[in-house]
Structure 1
């Protein structure tokens, strides 16, 4: 066993380096070198999302859609965006999928340690503060926008945590790419004394508004109802946008057209008349008068069999007037 005053060569080398930070940035230099050589980084998977949280009479209701996008492509149609923090605290995440997953897992483990240390129920504000400190430390480089909801001894609470590290305590909140559409529904329909069914329907309508007005949101609607008795996670509560089914096979041969339907009708020709329509617009009124006023035939007679001398006379008169004007 070495004495306390003894220092190995390796320890001397480490002592010369000075204080070290708690993070390793070797991968940052590697990434910069790869970018300089023309390597294109992969596109991160983002949950372009509509997430909602409201306070109702007996607790909190959280809602989210289930579409995850990777640029212009839909990478996952049934992604879970409501994350577990504690038995009475859940969190909806929008932004980069990997960031939301990891920050909620890390915060959940920290809350477990906090509960074991204090021997009491973790307040909802404690979870919001932990998330806020982590997001503020990275100054927006963690692409996660979170809606935290839960019920503790102070009652139901909703916290809105932005990726920059700021947070708000609100009676209802909406985040993600479908925020504007969802917030209009919440501002119109939210009331402090909503019951359970009214609150669930309001959350469904808010998420549906985000789904139908934002390409990054879609698929199904997940709900999470939190009360003093516990939480109930309703996976695929509503199918917002169903996929259309093909009714027929569309295998069309080249240089051909599909005939949808064929209809043959027998036409009975009563009489044939040939009219020479004048090219002068001023004569069109005579034909309109002929069609409306000049055909006054007795009853039980066919108008097409009557003579059209008045029509030809008026047309000739019109032609004569035009020639006279030209002279």
Structure 2
């Protein structure tokens, strides 16, 4: 009895525990792998990437301008629908990390979601929503409504509220009920709107939309309004810039237009208004 080998409790199953710890975690559903006990995910992100972090180029700073509006056709030749316009700048603290980010993400053939806030958060959850919509259509043999897609989006974000997510999105599209736009954010808010703008430059974009938006417009007029609002917002908001990307959603489908440099658009709009770009002092001599 005394010669038997004694195995301590913490040694029993050690090899199995080691293999389990080194193996890649298997995520089921959409549950995130939680950090070790004692580390809060939100506090960890803020301490390393928040305003108090020492690395200025790694601050988690958001800057963007996105907008969407519904309009009716002014003439029989126009199609009407929804115009979605966004900028393309991604900020990282004091630096511009990218100037060519696509902030209009596809959900369905006639549905998109915009991206404002944390790029990774928006891209991940938009893909989750797109997957859910595809599975719904395969199962039900019918197109999902914009209302249902936005509700699922809001419910998913609500489950992770106060976890440090940063999402400000619009779900816009056409379904059997007609055109619809829903604002969704990381706190689970969901609002149906006809004219919407989200991002650090949204107040500037709203100024242009409130001035020039009409319920009935020609297609060309609506596209120009989207470009004008994004362009002028980028020149008043340091977090916005790059290119203007536009998607036009109609009952027949979705059309994406080539990106246009907001700098060139600003010169074009300034010339149209007959406005000087900068003050030129007079020569007293």
Q: 2:126 maps to which residue?
A: 104
1:92 aligns with 2:114: yes
5+ residue gaps, structure 2, are 1-12, 14-30, 50-54, 73-79, 265-285
CA distance in 1, matches of 2:60, 2:172: 25
The root-mean-square deviation of aligned C-alpha atoms, in Å, is 2.3
Q: 1:199 to 1:131 in 2, by over 3 A?
A: same
User: Aligned residue for 1:26?
Assistant: 35
How far did 1:23 drift?
Answer: 5.1
Q: Take 1:173 and 1:94, find their aligned partners in 2: how far apart are those partners?
A: 13
1:157-168 aligned within 5 A: 157-168=180-191
TM-score normalised to structure 1 length: 0.62
1:75 maps to which residue? 97
Cα deviation 1:213-252 (Å, max 9, x = unaligned)? 100000110000011111011230x21126xxxxxxxxxx
Structure 2 residue 216 is matched with structure 1 residue 219 = no
Specify whether residues 23 and 219 from structure 1 end up closer, same or farther in structure 2 by C-alpha distance, changes over 3 A only. Answer: closer
1:189 and 2:212 are equivalent in the alignment: yes
Task: Determine the C-alpha separation between the residues in 2 that align with 1:146 and 1:28.
Answer: 32
How far apart are residue 163 of structure 1 and its match?
2.2
Question: Matches of 2:37 and 2:256 in 1, distance apart?
Answer: 39
Give 1:154 shift.
1.0
Secondary structure in 1 aligned to 2:263? coil
Pair 1:27–1:46, CA change in 2 (3 A): farther
Instruction: Give the match for residue 136 of structure 1.
Output: 158
**What is residue 64 of structure 2 aligned with on the other side?**
49
1:300 is aligned to none
Residues matched between the structures, number = 218
Secondary structure at 1:26's aligned position in 2?
coil
Whose relative contact order is higher, 1 or 2, with alpha carbons under 8 Å and at least 6 apart?
2
Q: How does 1:1-40 map to 2 (within 5 A)?
A: 24-27=33-36, 29=38, 40=48
Deviation at 1:46, TM superposition (A): 5.2
The answer to whether the 8 Å contact 1:46/1:68 transfers is no
Alignment match, 2:82: 60
**Partner SS, residue 78 of structure 1:** coil
Structure showing greater Rg: 1
**Structure 1: gaps of 5 or more residues:** 1-9, 11-21, 243-327
Alignment partner, residue 268 of structure 2: none
1:45/1:97 contact within 8 Å kept: no
TM-score normalised according to structure 2 size? 0.71
